Amino acid sequence: MVGSSGTGSTLTRDDLVISTDRLAKLLGDECVQVVDVRFALDDEDRGEREYERGHVPGAVYLHWLRDLSDPDDPVPGQIAPSDRFRKTMEAAGIGDDTAVVAYDDGVILMAGRLVWCLHCYGLEKVRMLDGGFLKWAREGKPVEAGRGRPRRRAVFTPRPSPQFRATKDDVLRALERGDRVLLDCRMNETWAAAGAHIPGARRFPAPALVYPGDGTLRAAGEIERMATEAGTGRGSPLLLYCGGGVSAAWAYTALRTVGYRHL
């Protein structure tokens, strides 16, 4: 189980989400590194194949399991340890002063996972592309094929922030004390198939945070309403979880855009 359990700095929607039009104007900026993180649960290599067929110009590809996860952890998909993560970021052209833009396919919401991973290691200059690659392509924005190269050499200094992860003991203490709200962010299909949840957890499915068919993040008022209906508020300390750490990371990012900090 991956969640988040700390207090972050105040970030606005503009700090966390970027429009396709805005990104199109930044494509020549060497300080900006675009990252394609498309991934499919039923075919782990599909995202990379789709990247090679067409991607945002200058984008590099990072694979959730091979590049961003810890291969030695018995639980699949856990965040890569510090040194491994550093090497991956540097190979992708991401350094301490890089502005990162991540995008996915709008189905498996992997861009939020990269946002969360970078926040865990101290880099806050990362945004999700609103609407992902689907919106970018539909609008006729430029696309290139093959494999992109990082824009420049980079030095990444991990600054681990353990408060962004909750352990099993953290969750058990929260259940005992009743001092945190647990949000189950799994997709409806995953939630139904599992047939169980952590006691007291409230439903907050991450895919509902984007507009169907469009893939753009819902308006701030809608996200806040959904959070309120789940029994939370901006001052509520939260624990987010899902099945593999992707949906919870997307929910984390969405809640940060509307001022939630106790995550």
Predicted confidence (pLDDT) per residue in 67-80, tens digit: 999 999 998 899 99
Structure confidence by residue, pLDDT tens digits, 22-43: 999 999 899 999 999 999 988 9
Asked whether residue 4 is domain-assigned, the answer is no
Which of 115, 137, 161 terminates a domain? The answer is 161
Asked whether residue 263 is domain-assigned, the answer is no
Query: Is the domain of 133 the same as that of 195?
Result: no
Asked whether residue 192 is domain-assigned, the answer is yes
Asked whether residue 5 is domain-assigned, the answer is no
**What CATH code is carried by the domain that includes residue 199?**
3.40.250.10
């300080």: which residue's tokens? 31
**Are the CB atoms for 152 and 93 separated by under 8 Å?**
yes
Structure confidence by residue, pLDDT tens digits, 208-241: 999 988 889 999 999 999 999 998 888 888 999 9
Asked whether residue 33 is domain-assigned, the answer is yes
Burial of 209 (0-12, 13-18, 19+ CB in 10 A): buried
| Whether the model pTM is above 0.75 | yes
Mean pLDDT of all residues in 129-152: 94
Query: Is the domain of 199 the same as that of 126?
Result: no
Asked whether residue 262 is domain-assigned, the answer is no
Which of 104, 138, 161 terminates a domain? The answer is 161
Q: Considering the chain, what is the average pLDDT of its residues?
A: 90
Total number of domains in the chain: 2
102 in the Ramachandran plot: left (φ > 0), alpha (ψ -120 to 50) or beta?
Answer: beta
Asked whether residue 242 is domain-assigned, the answer is yes
Query: Is the domain of 72 the same as that of 140?
Result: yes
Which of 139, 161, 183 terminates a domain? The answer is 161
CA distance 149 to 33: 10
Q: Which two tokens stand for residue 155?
A: 């030095």
With cut-offs at 50, 70 and 90, classify the pLDDT of residue 9. low
Structure confidence by residue, pLDDT tens digits, 83-108: 999 999 999 999 999 999 999 998 88
Q: Which two tokens stand for residue 54?
A: 């067409």
Q: According to the model, what pLDDT value does residue 243 have? A: 87
Query: Is the domain of 127 the same as that of 213?
Result: no
Q: Which two tokens stand for residue 93?
A: 């052209």
CA dihedral 204, 210, 211, 216 (to 10 degrees): 170
213 in the Ramachandran plot: left (φ > 0), alpha (ψ -120 to 50) or beta?
Answer: left
What burial letters (b/e) apply to 18-42, b meaning 16+ CB within 10 Å? bebeebeeeeeeeebbbbbbbbbee
Asked whether residue 175 is domain-assigned, the answer is yes
Query: Is the domain of 143 the same as that of 40?
Result: yes
Q: Which domain range does residue 45 map to?
A: 13-161
State the amino acid at position 83 in one-letter form. D
